[in-house]
Structure 1
């Protein structure tokens, strides 16, 4: 594998009715599917009824990078390997005068997903199909090198420091007299 693997995918977002007087609808990630030429380049409504609507967002490229092999390893070795999708609400275009969910990035890396979550982004996941998991595992086997475990020094051998990082000493001498309250 000398070239970086690239997968062309599309994201399906679902708008579903919920029983809430402040928010009658919510958006959730429905699926990540292989890109097809017939999808075109623009988001489009696939299906809609009184309870839900499915929107297809084509044109995402998922590329595997050597320097993120650990992120793919964490995903591939998990009990349920998955796609991670970062998505945001977009005011325009709208659906029935409501903002629409717009996927921004698709990845297979736990590290990417973790950074996005730390940044307070909306990230959801759906299971990755076996052929994608196999590709990810092959990439991990070729490029992931676990960091050697470093021995942690016992706490009892670490030098004592105050909250500013200055060395401190501890005395077992008993202080008498309460410090001059005379």
Structure 2
């Protein structure tokens, strides 16, 4: 399934590049003696019109449940280009997904946000959010790489100047 339609991006020159995705989460009942429920991120897939706008259960056998959360619009931002670069150069590019669980009903959890930025995921983790990841498909990694090539400019490292007090008197300016 191709997540990126490059023709649609060319038709909208002023719009930010974006893709619509849906998140699949799994819930497991009584995975061990200490947990009543365990949630995990299963996949991020292309959002299809047939998915609708509301979350829906894909499978539920009483012990395991898979649930689809559609309608995430992932836009790329030039000021996040370094975060995209870090994700792509990590060795295994991934989707980052923030998800939350219900304090009153511990059997409920849902996806909140999706990103491709390593930096943004770090900010979420610093804010004590639950962040999981799943592998990024090769076609989307290539699309993201094209965006990074166009927008990311590594910071130029300045040569460190030795403080004047450490130089011999004849070399001070």
TM class by smaller structure: 0.7 to 0.9
* Distance 1:31-1:158 versus aligned 2 partners, 3 A rule: farther
Could you say which residue in structure 2 is the equivalent of 1:77? Answer: 89
Counterpart selection for 1:136 from 125, 144, 155: 144
Q: Given that residues 66 and 143 in structure 1 are in contact (C-alpha distance below 8 angstroms), is that contact kept between their aligned partners in structure 2?
A: yes
Could you say which residue in structure 1 is the equivalent of 2:22? Answer: 10
Could you say which residue in structure 1 is the equivalent of 2:44? Answer: 32
Please list every run of 5 or more consecutive structure 1 residues that lacks an aligned counterpart in the other structure: 160-182
Deviation at 1:89, TM superposition (A): 0.5
Q: Given that residues 31 and 38 in structure 2 are in contact (C-alpha distance below 8 angstroms), is that contact kept between their aligned partners in structure 1?
A: no
* Distance 1:36-1:19 versus aligned 2 partners, 3 A rule: closer
Deviation at 1:90, TM superposition (A): 2.5
Aligned to 2:140, the other structure's residue is in SS state helix
Give the structure-2-normalised TM-score. Answer: 0.81
Looking at structure 2, the residues matched to 104 and 158 of structure 1 have their Cα atoms a distance apart, in angstroms, of 53
Counterpart selection for 2:53 from 25, 41, 44: 41
Count of aligned residue pairs for this structure pair = 153
Could you say which residue in structure 2 is the equivalent of 1:103? Answer: 111
Deviation at 1:126, TM superposition (A): 0.2
Q: Which has the larger radius of gyration?
A: 1
Could you say which residue in structure 1 is the equivalent of 2:154? Answer: 146
Give the structure-1-normalised TM-score. Answer: 0.77
70-79 vs 133-142, which moves further: 70-79
Deviations 1:75-104 (A, max 9, x none): 112211010001111257x5xxx4311111
Q: Given that residues 37 and 107 in structure 2 are in contact (C-alpha distance below 8 angstroms), is that contact kept between their aligned partners in structure 1?
A: no
Deviation at 1:50, TM superposition (A): 4.0
Counterpart selection for 1:126 from 120, 134, 141: 134
* Distance 1:115-1:158 versus aligned 2 partners, 3 A rule: farther
Aligned to 1:56, the other structure's residue is in SS state strand
* Distance 1:150-1:33 versus aligned 2 partners, 3 A rule: same
Could you say which residue in structure 2 is the equivalent of 1:179? Answer: none
Q: Given that residues 18 and 75 in structure 2 are in contact (C-alpha distance below 8 angstroms), is that contact kept between their aligned partners in structure 1?
A: yes
